[in-house]
Amino acid sequence: MKDYAVIGKRVPIHDAALKVTGQYKFTDDLKLPGMLYAQVLFSPVPHARIKSIDTSAAEALPGVRAVATYKNSPRVKYNSTTRLYTQKWIENECIFDDTVRFVGDRVAAVAADTLEIAKKAVRLIKVEYEELPYYTDPLEAMAEDAYPIHGDSNIAGKIYQNAGDVEKGFAEADYIFEDTYTTPAVHHGAIETHSAIAHFDARGKLTVISANQNTFGTRVVLSRIFGLPLSRIRVINPGMGGAFGGKLEVTIEPIVAQLARMTGRPVKLTYNRRETMISTRTRHAAIITLKTGVKKDGTIVAQDFKVITNTGAYAGSAMNVVGAMSGKVYKVYKIPNLRFTGYPVYTNTPCAGAMRGYGSPQAFFAQQCQLQKIAKALNMDFAELQLKNMVDPDGVDQRTGKPIGNPRPKDCLRRALELQKNWEPLSDEGGKYSIGVGMALGCHGSSTFDAHLDQACIMIKMNEDSSCIMFTGTHEMGQAAITAQLQVVSEVLKLPLDMIDVVCGDTDLCGWNVGDFSSRGIYVTLYAVEKAAEAAKAALLRVAAIMLEEDVSSLELSESHVYSKVNGKKVERYRVMDYAQQVLNEDIICTANHHATMAPGSYGVHIARVRIENSTGKVEVTDYIAVQDVGKVINRLGAEGQIEGSVHMGIGYALCEKLEFDAMGKAKNSSFRKYKMLQAAEMPRLQIDFIEEYEPTGPFGAKSKAECAVVAVAPAVINAICNALDMEIKDLPYEYNRK
C-alpha cells in the first residue's frame, strides 16, 4: 500500500487547542451588541386548536421587545430536513401554528432584554385550547378511523422495496421464523443543547448563527418562510458541541429569525436540556416485524421486513429515515428474496428525526437478534451462519444487481474472531454471574446518493508564501472531518499542517455542500478536497513551468520547492507565488466539485461479552470488539474516536436509553437526572480494528464509518445477554425495561 506522509496517521482534531483552553466559541458562548434573549412557550396538551391567545400582559412587561405567535408570524409550511432548493418533501410544520400537535410543540416566543424577563413574559401568555383526539401509539394512530393529525391519514407514506419473490422464497424454506421487535425513541445526548442567534439588518439581510449540521438546507427553508433570495440569508455554523443528527433539521432557527425580524435586533435562543429533549428531534421508535425463511444448512432464502416508525407530530425525516433503512438491508446478505415495507406514522409525540445510523440501528437490531435465534435453532455456530450468507466483495444489491462497493463484512468477522482470542477468561465467581458473548453485523451507506444529489464544492486559496486557506462547507461537530480535509491538502500540496488553515460552515463564504450527515464527510467532501488540492498543485506547477522553462509534466512539488524530476532545476515555492502575483498578475484560487455516483456500504462486526449478576440481574458489558470495514483510514486517532463514541451510544441504546412518555405523550424522563447515559466506569475493555481494503470510488480508498459503527452495538450486546441468560429479548432497552 502507498506510503503517505499524513494520510492514515494519528492527527489530533485541528481545533483541539481552542477547545482545551476555552477559546472555542460555540453558539451560546457568543454575544452580539444589543442582543435580546428569547424564550419559547410550549404546548402543555398533546393535540388542540388554539381557541384564543392573549399576549397583552407579556407585551406590557418592561423589557419585552416582541412576542411572536401564529397570528403575527409567517405560516409557510416547510419540511425541516430539506436540502435542495427545488426539493419538495412533505411540508406540514411551520414556526407557530393555530394547532398544537404534541406536549412540547411551539406556541409562542418572546424576545426580551434579559433571559429573566423573557422567562417571566412567557408565563404571562394566556392560551385557551380546544382539545382534539390524540395518539401516542402509532398502531392506534394508523387505524383507518383515527383522527388525522395532518391531511387525511396518520400514515405519512409508504416505503416499499423488493427483490425476488418473497412468497416463493418462503415456500422453499425449511424453517420460517417470525418475530416482532421494538426500539424506543432516544435522545441524541449532545452535551451542547440547541442554540441559535439571528439578526435581520437594515438591508434586509438575515444572518443566522446556529449549531446546525445542514446550513445550506436551513438557508433554503428560511428563504421559503421569509420570502428572501438566498443572497439575503447567511447561515453560519460556528461549530457544534456534538450533534449526532439531532442538529440536522431546522428547529429553532425560524423562531430567532422571526423575533429578529420583529425587533430589528440580534436575538439568541438556547434551549435547555428538557426543551432539547422534547422539542427538537429524537431517534424514531420502531416496531419491526421480521419474517425469515432458511434452509436447514442456514442459507437464508427469504426475508420480509414490516416496519412501522413513530415519526412524531411533523413529517421532517419521516420518509427519509424509513427510506434509508429500506436500502441498507439490501447491502449485507445474499438473500435472493427480500422485501421491505415501511410506514412512518404521525403521533402526538415529539418529532423523530435523523440520528446516527439513520434507520439502520432499528433494522439491524431486529435482524441480528433474529438471526442469532435462528442459528441456535439450527444448532449452528452464529459466525458460520453469518459467513454463509454475508455478501462477498463482488456483492450486489439484490434489487438492482448493481455493485455495492467493496463490501468486507466477512473480513470484519474473521478479524473480530481473531481479536476475541486476546480476551482473558472471565470467571462466573462460583455461579455469582452469568456470562454471555454475542455478535452482530451492522451496515450503513456512504452519502445521500441513494436518496438525492450528494455534492460538495471546495475552494483553496493560495497565499504569497505558498501557505493556503481551504474553504469548506463542512460543519464541525467533533467528527474531525475538517482535520481529515486538512490532512488531504497537506498530503497533496506537501505542506505542513500549520501552513494550511480553514474557513468552514458559512453559506456566504463556502461552496455548496449537502450538509454533514449521511456518512458523507469522508466519502464525498474529502474527494472534493483532494480534487481542489490537485487543482492548486497544477496551478503552482503551471506557473513554475513558465519560470523554469520546463514542461509541466516534468515538475513535482517538495515542501519548499517546485523541482524538475528530469534535470533537478528548481525554484522556491514562494517565488512561484511571487511570479504569479507580480508577473502574471494572478491570484491562485482553485475550486473543485465532487458528487457521489454510488453509496457503497460500510460494515462492522462487533462482539460483546457481558457479565450479569444473578442476584440482581444487573448487566455489565465487560469486553468489546469492533472491527469496521472503512476502505481506508484517513486519521487513525479520529477513526478510533468515532468507534469509541459509537460503542458508548450503542450500549446505552441496548441497556438504558429510552425517552418514555405518559398517556398524553408527555415525557417522563426529560432530564439528565432521569435519562441515563453511560458513565466512564461503565464502558467495557475495548479492542478496535479496521479493514482497509480500498473503496475504488472513495478518496484515497476511504468510505464511511462514523454512523456504521453504532449499528452493530445494540444487537451484539443483546445477543450476549440472550446467550448468558438463555432467553429472547425483543424490546430495547433491556435494563430500562427490566426495572
User: Between 449 and 478, how does the x/- string for binding to another protein read (CB under 8 A)?
Assistant: ----------------------------xx
Among 231, 228, 240, residue whose Cα is nearest residue 196: 240
442 binds another protein (CB under 8 A): no
CB count in 10 Å sphere of residue 226? 19
Which segment (197-205, 341-349, 389-397, 672-680) binds another protein by CB under 8 A?
A: 672-680
Burial class (CB in 10 A: 0-12, 13-18, 19+), 108: buried
What distance in Å separates the CA atoms of residue 356 and residue 358, rounded to the nearest whole number? 6
How do 619-629 and 602-613 pair as beta strands? antiparallel
Residues within window 136-195 making contact with another protein, judged by CB under 8 A: 188-193
Which segment (26-34, 81-89, 312-320, 375-383) binds another protein by CB under 8 A?
A: 26-34
What distance in Å separates the CA atoms of residue 172 and residue 157, rounded to the nearest whole number? 32
Binds another protein by CB under 8 A, chosen from 28, 491, 530, 550: 28
300-312: strand order across its sheet: 159-163, 337-346, 300-312, 285-294, 175-183
647 binds another protein (CB under 8 A): yes
241 binds another protein (CB under 8 A): yes
Which segment (267-275, 505-513, 562-570, 719-727) binds another protein by CB under 8 A?
A: 267-275
Binds another protein by CB under 8 A, chosen from 56, 72, 272, 582: 272
Total residues binding another protein (CB under 8 A): 54
Given the complex with another protein, which of 35 and 57 has the nearer CB atom?
A: 35
Task: Please name the amino acid found at residue 291.
Answer: K
What distance in Å separates the CA atoms of residue 93 and residue 313, rounded to the nearest whole number? 9
Binds another protein by CB under 8 A, chosen from 177, 423, 574, 672: 672
Q: What is the DSSP string of 237-260?
A: ----S--TTTTTS-SSHHHHHHHH
**Integer Rg of the chain from CA:** 27
565 binds another protein (CB under 8 A): no
* CB half-sphere exposure, 10, CA atoms < 13 A: 3
What single DSSP character describes residue 703?
Answer: -
Given the complex with another protein, which of 22 and 229 has the nearer CB atom?
A: 22
Q: How far is the CB of 34 from another protein (least distance, A)?
A: 16
Binds another protein by CB under 8 A, chosen from 677, 687, 730, 737: 677
Which segment (288-296, 541-549, 601-609, 639-647) binds another protein by CB under 8 A?
A: 639-647
CB count in 10 Å sphere of residue 512? 14
9 binds another protein (CB under 8 A): no
Residue 82, Ramachandran bin (φ over 0: left; ψ between -120 and 50: alpha; else beta): beta
Q: How far is the CB of 476 from another protein (least distance, A)?
A: 8
What distance in Å separates the CA atoms of residue 250 and residue 83, rounded to the nearest whole number? 11
Binds another protein by CB under 8 A, chosen from 499, 637, 664, 725: 637
Binds another protein by CB under 8 A, chosen from 673, 726, 727, 739: 673
Which segment (90-98, 119-127, 229-237, 635-643) binds another protein by CB under 8 A?
A: 635-643
Given the complex with another protein, which of 241 and 442 has the nearer CB atom?
A: 241
In sign, the C-alpha dihedral spanning 100, 104, 106, 110 is: positive
Given the complex with another protein, which of 90 and 637 has the nearer CB atom?
A: 637
| Centroid of chain to Cα 633 | 19
Residues within the interface to another protein (CB under 8 A) = 10, 12-13, 15-22, 24-26, 28-29, 188-193, 239-244, 270, 272-273, 477-480, 637-638, 640-641, 644-649, 671-673, 677, 679-681, 683, 686
